Chains A and B, each alone.
Chain A
Amino acid sequence: MAVIEVRDLRRTYRSRTGIRRTSVKDVEAVRGINFAVEKGELFGLLGPNGAGKTTTIKILITLLLPTSGTALVLGHDVVRETRAVRRRVGYVFGGDRGLYERLSARDNLRYFSELYGVPAREQSRRIGALIEQVGLAGRERELVEGYSRGMRQRLHIARGLLHDPDVLFLDEPTIGIDPVGARELRSTISQLIEAGKTVLLTTHYMFEADELCDRIAVIASGRIVAEGSPKELKSRVSDGHVLEVEVYGLDDRSVAAVRGVDGIRSVSVEARDQAQILAVRAASGAEVTQAVLRCLDGATVGRVATREPTLEDAYVELVGEGRS
């Protein structure tokens, strides 16, 4: 039996604007998604902002009701058996909010221990072990209001593990953390999997998903557009190559012209310092370099290179298809 089972899950938000002339707009955040996560698996949900990742997690941790469809966590329905689900799942989100600023780290953990029903005789040992584990030992009696973003995120992780949950939902846990902290956090996530936990992770960072996830579902505009292991997803674009061009003064007209070149599957632009990096994913065997450079007439071209596709390229292509 799958630990997480999602069937035809949909969630629509209704938003109202205006005071006198109210207009109502329905936004479909999740549009009939299906996936299953097995015990001990680290499953990644990848997608751009507003794709429906957080909505899906909130439904699975019982904070949101689905508009239709079903979701089971450890065999419990997330709508009807909320307490059974809440007892066995942990939830950690990224960012520096979600903590009691005027309490110490220890008291934050103590409060949630009470809410999760961790027995008094176990609380002290457990909190001490988690504080040690997340590297806050020595700082645990300081008020959280003085904590750095990384320290807060580590405290979030400790809070999510307090009741030793079977399933952990991590919603962009490394966002805003420095590279060293993020690497340590990834190491902790790997340890959780080794300890037999099931983890559902959302992230924007492709290398993170590539490094950690057993399987990934790419979600765009509320739909799952691809699902598979990082290797399988990469193989979808591995028959082609990526042309990367460093450009100064790239305009929208040039990008549109590049998109029109034969043999090009997708195009993305990333700002890097003063330059823009134009990444052109081309089909296998397509010679597009000269045609692309001709489209950049008027802009200053720097370094030009070709490389093998990465998971990020697969993601960009899949998300692009999902949106169109």
Chain B
Amino acid sequence: MMQTSPAPRRTLALSNVDAGYGETVILNKLSLTLTEGTTLALLGRNGVGKTTLLATCMGYTRLHGGTVEFLGRNIGQLAINRRSALGLALVPQEREIFKSLTVEENLVVGQRPGKWALQRVYDFFPSLHKRRRSRGDQLSGGEQQMLAVGRALMGNPTFLLLDEPLEGLAPVIVDQLLAGLQRLKTEENMTMLVVEQHAQLAMDFAETTVVLDRGAIVYHGPSRELAASKEKQAQLLGIGGDLGH
């Protein structure tokens, strides 16, 4: 008898979301669904609401309307730490490493039981193992970024939100980090939503791309289609010629 693989589960689902900071609404009637194992690149000009979308998923913003569901549960009014316990993890743009803690302490401070433990994170990012006794404020930008991803993984999430993970990193570090993220995608089947300014790298990494403009989705489709059309990129992202790296 032939076995069929189960249909991928719906993980994160935003439906008609209006959200922002205080009374200011930044996301307008935004709907987006991701299924298990998906990687999605979120692109757009500065100030169009990319970070706000990630913040809304985590619960940092005020939800003015619509629903946010995670694994079938409405999490719109759920506290941030409860969302994290459900399996959502955010790697913030500023990295926000705890400066007075060592690399190892940064990793274990948010550890939750599961398959992700210190050794596994060190396997993914060997340079963190070398620097495990160093304090957070003694790390380079690349090491901090790896630590931010590693710390998120120690919470054993099923869904990673990454806010500009490649920002300000040297090309060699970008390659190392992307290799780690690629392994997460292929070996761990991790669902990921990546906000990134390096449009080309993001589209190479994620199979699906969403472009935001003024808080609304203006493009949603396969990354390769957008990557193949310079004209569309210029129109949607406002950049012509060489895009990022």
**Chain A partners chain B:** no
**Chain A contact residues, CB within 8 Å of chain B:** none
**Chain B contact residues, CB within 8 Å of chain A:** none
